[in-house]
Amino acid sequence: MKNTNIDSILKSIFNEELNFDVRGVFEEKLLEYNISKTKALKLLNIDKDVFEEIINGTAKQPNLIHVVKIAEFLNVNVDEFIKIVLKNQSSENIVSIESARKTTFLLKNFDVKTLTKLGFFDKDDSTDLLVQKVLLFFGYSSIKEYEEQLDAPLYSRVKRNFSDKMKDFWIKSAFQTFKVINNPNSYSREKLKDLIVKIKPYSQDVNNGLVTVCKALYNNGVTVILQNYLSTTQVRGATFVINGKPCIVITDFNKMYSTLWFTLLHELHHVLFDFDLIETNSFHLTGDDDLFLIEEKADSFGRDFFFSEEKFHFIKTYINSPFMVNKFAKENEIHPSIIYSFFTWYQKKLYGKNYHAAFKEFYPDYNEAIKGLNPVVWNETSIIEASQKIKLILEIK
């Protein structure tokens, strides 16, 4: 019994068809051993009424020792017989077992407390309602469907053990969104390289630039979505490879307009140069520690693309002149806030100076840039609905 997997048994009660005639097999064993039922039960030290309750499924709390004894007598695997006994329980007992199964499913997969704070759950939700909200959100009709169709694609090739349930939730949300969108366009690395060099000027258009770039990427087989940042996960972005096509998640990490563009270029670097590695692992999370070296390269790519260290050294003398900054921004085809943001970063990195609170008046509202992308938020009713809206946005010419 020490190898019995209770979670597996609970799953099988509701997920498997168990056709086994316990009484019929018991009668066959009596004939095989040439023994009466009364004698067999006496040897097993099981009361006749207790035996009938176990077989009929009316025992409110079947004695495990008795169950094991009967399994041995029938020459049936103990784990399989436990499933049979549980499956054959009264409707009242089945409801109780199913409730335990749902509770196990929730506690194993979700940080209920944090999701309640985010508005995904309500504090007074029952177990049934919590499960219902999860299944509705991900678009599945049962726990079985969730486990078979959402777990398997992500963890089949490389098993990833995430202790952080919110990180796991974030990953599965992104994966399901990409799955529903199902970009029909073919991906070409060469075309992506040509497209990337044209991206920078669109950063000047706060309201429409990011959406326009994401549409162009979508037409080249690269799907980009925006999910709310979860501080508990430390994930600032991600790159997935699904059905051989790159999929990117950018977040509203630090709520800054410039960060949206930097994150996008960071992930596009992964698409260009780390595609095979990411495909092997199914996805890569920006902020994860397992691929530190490629993170550094991707960061450098994003910084140099928009505002290199050389440009920082030029503009730092004029940083307090809005006229000069705007002029330099136009010459470099970027939004002025990108200059201020990167200037702050370089000052901290190179000189240890903190300009964190400076230049805030020059930063546009990042919400204006992302609202057209229909960001996935954690009080959504259904990823299916949100994903269909995103797909429509990305497909509009």
Q: What is the pLDDT of residues 214-260, one digit of tens each?
A: 999 999 999 999 998 888 888 889 999 999 999 999 998 889 999 99
Strands 245-251 and 223-227: parallel
What is the chain's Cα-based Rg? 29
Q: Does the pLDDT at position 2 exceed 50?
A: no
pLDDT in tens, 29-73: 999 999 999 999 999 999 999 898 888 777 777 888 998 999 999
Lowest mean pLDDT among 14-23, 99-108, 134-143, 387-396: 14-23
Least confident of 25-34, 195-204, 216-225, 302-311: 25-34
Q: What domains are there in the chain, each with its CATH number?
A: 6-94 (1.10.260), 182-395 (no CATH)
All residues at 6 or more sequence positions from 234 whose CB lies less than 8 Å from its CB, including other chains: 287
Task: Tell me the three state secondary structure of residue 3.
Answer: coil
Distances (CA, A) of 283 to 19, 164, 279: 40, 16, 7
Beta carbons within 8 Å of 292's beta carbon, 6+ residues apart: none
Can you tell me the distance from the alpha carbon of 135 to that of 176, in angstroms, rounded to the nearest whole number?
12
3-class secondary structure per residue, 319-348 = CCCHHHHHHHHHHCCCCHHHHHHHHHHHHH
Strand 237-242 with 245-251, pairing: antiparallel
Instruction: Classify residue 2 by its DSSP letter.
Output: T
Residue 3 has pLDDT above 50, yes or no: no
Q: What's the predicted TM-score (pTM) here?
A: 0.81
3-state helix, strand, coil in the chain (%, to 5): 65, 5, 30
Instruction: Tell me if 57 sits within 8 A of 88, measured CB to CB.
Output: yes
H or E segment at 172?
helix 165-181
Residue 231 burial (CB count, 10 A): 9
